[in-house]
Amino acid sequence: MKIVISPAKSLDFETKVPTSQFTNGIFLNEAEKLNVILRKKSPKKLSELMSISSKLGELNWQRNQDWQLPFTLENAKQAVFAFKGDVYIGLDAYTLSENKIAQLQNKLRILSGQYGLLKPLDLMQPYRLEMGTKLKVGKKDNLYQFWDATVTNAFNEELKDDEIFINLASNEYFKVIKPKLLKVPVITPVFKDYKDGKLKMISFFAKKARGLMVRFIIDNAVENIEDLKGFNYEGYAFDANLSSNNELVFTR
């Protein structure tokens, strides 16, 4: 089984990591190419490019200046512990045992505008570069064009012919993958909550639920779709009537 999730804008490079194990990303040369472009942009240009405040423009200008290879445990951090958004709160990787972290390393992949594709223990340095950013890279007009073939091919090299591929990424990030070119079908879990008597996908809850599902898969050594349908963390339950072969709907 392979699971894909999005990164997070919020980062945590302060909290101590519960493992000294680490790996290096497979697309660090591409990441460095992007950094060469980004570090030439002023704080004002970064703010305009990413529609962020001047304060965040200054912060990310400094990050771009400080970014350098090689990555070590002194100047970088394992990705799954560095990201801090709602998905990662649901996943709660800090409470996983070493054995479970090894399983996570095998199953989970994180999409990234800067790094393309990350394993949980791949080292990364702080950055801000969302996949939807219209950054021109050579003849490529944006990051989707820069990364799509590279990321899709990387998945195909990893995936076995009968392996299950679970999409827990946001639409913004999953668009970088070309599903029709993947060697296996994509299964997308969807999380909906009842609000005011209606069933809706509420962004905050859905993001956390994606992380909770990753944790459920690791906690229960899930390897097939039927076991995945047993997801019941924080009150969610599988709804067969709302689901299809490629979209599994969970409600609460």
* Strands of the chain, DSSP E: 2-5, 77-78, 108-112, 116-118, 123-124, 165-168, 186-195, 198-200, 237-238, 247-251
At 59, which helix (H) or strand (E)? helix 54-66
What is the model's pLDDT at position 70?
Answer: 98
174 within 8 A of 111, measured Cβ to Cβ? yes
What is the model's pLDDT at position 10?
Answer: 97
Name 76's Cβ contacts closer than 8 Å, sequence gap at least 6.
123, 124, 125
For residue 234, give the nearest of 218, 212, 214 by alpha carbon: 212
Greatest alpha-carbon span in the chain: 53
Name 120's Cβ contacts closer than 8 Å, sequence gap at least 6.
78, 79, 80, 93, 101, 104, 105, 108, 110
What is the model's pLDDT at position 140?
Answer: 97
Report the C-alpha gap between 221 and 239 in whole angstroms.
Answer: 22
What is the model's pLDDT at position 48?
Answer: 97
For residue 4, give the nearest of 155, 142, 220 by alpha carbon: 155
Per residue of the chain (252 residues), give pLDDT as tens: 999 999 999 999 999 999 999 999 999 999 999 999 999 999 999 999 999 999 999 999 999 999 999 999 999 999 999 999 999 999 999 999 999 999 999 999 999 999 999 999 999 999 999 999 999 999 999 999 999 999 999 999 999 999 999 999 999 999 999 999 999 999 999 999 999 989 999 999 999 999 999 999 999 999 999 999 999 999 999 999 999 999 999 999
86 within 8 A of 35, measured Cβ to Cβ? no
What is the model's pLDDT at position 155?
Answer: 98
* Strands of 105-175, DSSP E: 108-112, 116-118, 123-124, 165-168
Report the C-alpha gap between 50 and 69 in whole angstroms.
Answer: 24
89 within 8 A of 37, measured Cβ to Cβ? no
Other C-beta atoms closer than 10 Å to the C-beta of 123 total: 21
For residue 143, give the nearest of 41, 6, 66, 151 by alpha carbon: 151
**pTM of the complete model:** 0.97
Report the C-alpha gap between 45 and 18 in whole angstroms.
Answer: 38
